[in-house]
Amino acid sequence: MAKRIIYPLYQLGNPQLRLFRPTFNLTLVRPGKEQPPDTVQFRIPMEMTKFDVRNYLEKIYSVPVAAVRTRIQYCTNKKRNHLNQRVKRPDYKVAYVQLAQQQTFQFPDIFPEKDKKHEEGSVEEMQEKFMEDERQRQKPDPRRGGVTEWFGL
Nearest to 42 by CA among 63, 57, 24, 27: 27
State yes or no: residue 64 binds another protein (CB under 8 A): yes
State yes or no: residue 65 binds another protein (CB under 8 A): yes
Q: Name the amino acid, one letter, at 58.
A: E
**Residue 95 CB neighbours (<10 A):** 22
Q: CA 128 to CA 131: how far, in whole Å?
A: 5
State yes or no: residue 100 binds another protein (CB under 8 A): yes
Q: What binding mask, one character per residue, do residues 9-48 give for another protein by CB under 8 A, x or -?
A: ------------------------xxxx-xx---------
State yes or no: residue 101 binds another protein (CB under 8 A): yes
39 touches 68 (CB < 8 A): no
Which range touches another protein (CB under 8 A), out of 58-66, 80-88, 117-125, 138-146?
58-66
State yes or no: residue 131 binds another protein (CB under 8 A): no
